[in-house]
Each structure stands twice: as C-alpha cells, then as structure tokens.
C-alpha cells in the first residue's frame, strides 16, 4: 500500500487517516476535521490538546467539560493563574448541601435559616446550627424583649410574660395577644395587671 502525500483537512498519516495536533475527527462523519477549541484557562496546554477521536480536551484537575471551561462540583472561579484551574467552594459541611456552590460568585447552597457565602452561621432570629440548618426562634412579637433567642431556643420575655417563646401572660394579667402596651417608668409592659374588685 502506498503512502499518501499532501493530506487535506488537517489530517496526517500514511493514508491521511489521523488528525494533526489540535484537531479531531468530525463526529458528523464527513472528511473534515474539527478544531479542539480547548479553553486556555481550564485546559492543560500540551502538544496534543485534545483526544483525536472525541475532541475531549485535557483539563486541569478541578475543571470539566469537553473544552475544559467549567469547574467541577465543589469548586468555583475558573482562573488561568490557578494550577488546578478552580478554587474549592469551601462550603461549611454542616450548614450547606453537598459542598457545591454557584459558579458565579461562589455562594454555597445553604440549608434552612443559615447564611454567609459558606453557610456557616444561623440567620438572625434563628438558633441551633446543625445538620438540618437552623431553627427560627419564633419569639412572640409582643411578649419578647427581642426576636433573637438563646442558643437553646428560649426567648427573653418582657415583664409579666412567661413561656419559652414569651407567649403567655403571668397569672392575673392580660393583653398579650392584642399587643396592648402601656408606658410605665420608661419601660414597655406587655401584659396589664387585672384588678380584683
């Protein structure tokens, strides 16, 4: 069998059956070849940038995609200056789902009532950071001195108010449900003492 000369369409080999570096076989089956089109940011810049049969580029460690243009799950911020291509999302393993984050900005996917970019704290007026996220305090808006509760979930009650969520008046007092307030000695009193006649 003879050797072909003057191969066309970026091919090479004895019978022009191979692609030259930087090209791969057209998946449509015609005789033309296709450019690798590897991302210079996420691919390894080597002499054979992609697979001659599939066009799959050789990606940096934390990069994926045929053209090496996307960070793998758990990594973000594709950058040519990074040896592995992308940085870890660094999501809190307790407060986030699956250590994955948004490709733009790197915001982790937080469990209920957790916050920050890495989901490492409870939101305001929440408590109990754990594997299910955080729990809303649920402090009664009229009976609580603050909507923020202690770590165990108990709220700080106004005078004459009791209960873990500050939702009950002490005996012989009323007015909590209606939000009735009186101003006495520069303090708000949530429940008003009832007089016995």
For residue 161, what are its two tokens?
């108010």
pLDDT at 186: 28
In angstroms, the Cα distances linking 17 to 26, 55, 150, 190 are 12, 16, 73, 88
Check residues 110 and 172 and name the one with the higher pLDDT. Answer: 110
Q: Which CATH class is domain 137-197?
A: mainly beta
Rounded Cα gap, residues 21 and 63, in angstroms: 21
Query: What is the distance between the alpha carbons of residues 63 and 71, in angstroms, rounded to a whole number?
Result: 4
**Residues 3 and 14 sit within 8 Å (Cβ to Cβ):** yes
pTM: 0.65
> In this model, does residue 193 exceed pLDDT 60?
no
Higher-pLDDT residue of 186, 73: 73
Q: pLDDT tens-digit profile of 84-96? A: 999 999 999 999 9
pLDDT beyond 70 at 195: no
Least confident of 61-65, 119-123, 157-161: 157-161
More confident residue, 83 or 34: 83
pLDDT band at 27 (very low <50, low <70, confident <90, very high): confident
Residue 46 neighbours by CB under 8 Å, 6+ apart: 58
Which residue, among 50, 47, 38, 42, has the nearest Cα to 84 in the 3D structure?
42
Of the pLDDT bands very low, low, confident and very high (cuts 50, 70, 90), residue 35 is confident
Higher pLDDT, 38 or 127: 127
- Where along the chain do its domains lie? 137-197
pLDDT at 144: 93
**DSSP, res 111:** P
What's the full length of the chain, in residues?
Answer: 197
The token duo for 6 is: 């003057």
Contact 75, 89 (CB under 8 A): yes
């Amino acid at each position: 069998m003879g050797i072909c000369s003057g191969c066309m369409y970026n091919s090479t080999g004895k019978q022009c059956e191979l692609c030259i570096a930087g090209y791969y076989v057209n998946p449509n089956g015609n005789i033309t070849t296709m450019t690798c089109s590897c991302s210079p940011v996420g691919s390894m810049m080597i002499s054979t940038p992609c697979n001659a049969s599939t066009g799959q580029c050789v990606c940096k460690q934390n990069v994926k995609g045929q053209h090496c243009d996307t960070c793998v799950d758990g990594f973000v911020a594709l950058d040519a200056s990074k040896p592995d291509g992308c940085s870890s999302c660094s999501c809190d393993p307790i407060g986030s789902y699956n250590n994955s984050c948004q490709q733009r900005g790197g915001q982790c996917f937080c469990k209920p009532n957790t916050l920050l970019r890495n989901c490492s704290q409870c939101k305001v007026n929440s408590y109990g950071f754990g594997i299910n996220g955080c729990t809303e305090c649920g402090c009664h808006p009229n009976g609580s001195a603050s909507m923020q509760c202690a770590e165990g979930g108990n709220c700080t009650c106004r005078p004459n108010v009791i209960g873990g969520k500050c939702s009950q008046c002490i005996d012989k007092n009323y007015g909590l449900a209606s939000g009735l307030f009186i101003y006495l000695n520069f303090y708000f009193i949530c429940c008003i003492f009832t007089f016995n006649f």
